[in-house]
């Protein structure tokens, strides 16, 4: 199964990978959903899962029913869909007071679904609870700061305190429209406080990949895309991307290295089908980035970290390992999830082609889909992701550049 490399010549047809493989994959996928999936043995189910996801990304198959439960990842009934929240949860920290503040403030989103001013009561309680924890347990928060990040952490505690005071005034004024903006601001300070608690790097990258470009932390990027046609006419969009090297240092590092080289600057959107937006196929016969030192395509090893694991898994998908029902730390839950494209059945074949997931479908319902653990996620669009819906094949990426975190990129020449 693959969201495999897409050449511009194949883009209009929606085909991915080897053209000859598409009809066979389509037949298998369609057969999978015409009959009794529940009667199939585990090996057949694995094959169905692979073929179905491959066919969907190829644009060759519209499923007749939802995936069989055995082929889906089983998670909580209310998975996190917000990219910034996923990234906060993915930080390798265990400070209970700041996590409680995070939980209270994130819960405001649910409260806002209550019609009218009735929602402001739960919002006010969440803000007061956050203020109380920040006041009473400030020392417990501060003691977990990494020494070199303590000043940064303390500055964000003060910003959070001020933000919560302003938040309380907004609630008292019953200004419901201002609540989401202030919530986002407060949570940004919470995220900064949590990042200040990360000490060093949480694990050793395997020796065979330690000399690759690595992102040992996080980096924030800005991507500007010029769209020739949208419902409002030609437009240029700026988007913010956060790369998570704490959980995908090799994947994020090799993408960050290409960004530093200007590899994507001036490149076109090469696929935009309502399911994904994909780019990264360079000019010429190569389907990936050719390393000038070796004159060979530089590949990216498959990398995924599972919740509860101390380090990522390399080279094998969760399906390969029989762990398909386990949840990655970086899931395909958010609109604008960023991951590597690769060839079918070749886990370590990614190079430069990447895709952004646009929306849920029958095969990618949030928290229960056929992509988690089979494709390597390494980042998310955290601002401006809605513009992905307007991207079309041929639209131009004017640039992707670093906003911060470039100093976390190692082994980049």
Q: Smallest Cα–Cα separation from 403: which of 223, 212, 234?
A: 223
Structural domains in the chain plus CATH codes = 83-197 (1.20.120.290), 207-410 (2.40.100.10)
The encoded tokens of residue 200 equal 């060093």
- Given a contact cutoff of 8 angstroms between Cβ atoms, the answer to whether 371 and 357 are in contact is yes
Question: Going by DSSP bridges, is the β-strand pair 396-404/218-227 parallel, antiparallel, or unpaired?
Answer: antiparallel
At residue 8, the pLDDT reads 37
Torsion of CA 56, 374, 276, 15, to 10 degrees: -50
Q: Smallest Cα–Cα separation from 218: which of 354, 381, 407, 20?
A: 407
Q: What pTM value is reported for the model?
A: 0.83
Low-confidence ranges of the chain (pLDDT < 50): 1-2, 5-76, 361
| CA–CA distances in Å: residue 9 to residues 53, 236, 297, 413 | 22, 25, 20, 32
Q: Smallest Cα–Cα separation from 145: which of 136, 157, 135, 134?
A: 157
């Amino acid at each position: 199964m693959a969201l495999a490399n897409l050449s511009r010549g194949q883009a209009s047809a929606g085909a991915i990978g080897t053209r000859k493989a598409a009809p066979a994959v389509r037949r298998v996928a369609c057969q999978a959903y015409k009959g009794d999936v529940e009667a199939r043995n585990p090996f057949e189910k694995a094959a169905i899962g692979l073929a179905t996801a491959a066919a969907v990304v190829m644009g060759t198959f519209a499923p007749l029913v939802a995936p069989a439960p055995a082929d889906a990842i089983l998670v909580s009934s209310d998975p996190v869909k917000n990219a910034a929240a996923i990234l906060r949860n993915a930080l390798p920290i265990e400070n209970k007071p700041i996590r409680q503040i995070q939980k209270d403030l994130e819960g405001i989103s649910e409260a806002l679904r209550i019609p009218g001013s009735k929602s402001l009561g739960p919002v006010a309680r969440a803000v007061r609870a956050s203020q109380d924890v920040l006041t009473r347990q400030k020392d417990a928060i501060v003691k977990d700061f990494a020494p070199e990040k303590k000043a940064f952490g303390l500055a964000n505690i003060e910003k959070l305190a001020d933000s919560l005071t302003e938040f309380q005034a907004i609630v008292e004024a019953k200004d419901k429209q201002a609540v989401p903006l202030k919530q986002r601001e407060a949570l940004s300070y919470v995220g900064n406080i949590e990042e200040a608690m990360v000490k060093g790097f949480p694990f050793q990258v395997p020796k065979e990949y330690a000399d690759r470009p690595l992102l040992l932390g996080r980096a924030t990027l800005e991507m500007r895309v010029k769209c020739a046609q949208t419902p409002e006419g030609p437009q240029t969009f700026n988007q913010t991307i956060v790369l998570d090297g704490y959980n995908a240092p090799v994947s994020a590092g090799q993408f960050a290295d290409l960004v530093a080289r200007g590899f994507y600057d001036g490149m076109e959107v090469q696929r935009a089908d309502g399911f994904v937006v994909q780019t990264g196929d360079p000019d010429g016969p190569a389907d990936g980035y050719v390393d000038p030192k070796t004159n060979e395509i530089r590949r990216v090893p498959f990398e995924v970290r599972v919740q509860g694991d101390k380090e990522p898994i390399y080279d094998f998908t969760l399906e390969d390992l029989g762990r398909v029902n386990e949840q990655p730390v970086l899931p395909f839950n958010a609109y604008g999830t960023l991951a590597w494209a690769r060839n079918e059945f070749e886990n370590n074949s990614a190079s430069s082609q990447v895709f952004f997931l646009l929306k849920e479908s029958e095969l990618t319902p949030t928290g229960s889909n056929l992509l988690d653990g089979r494709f390597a996620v390494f980042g998310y669009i955290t601002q401006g992701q809605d513009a992905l819906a307007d991207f079309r094949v041929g639209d131009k990426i004017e640039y992707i550049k670093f906003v911060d975190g470039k100093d976390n990129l190692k082994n980049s020449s």
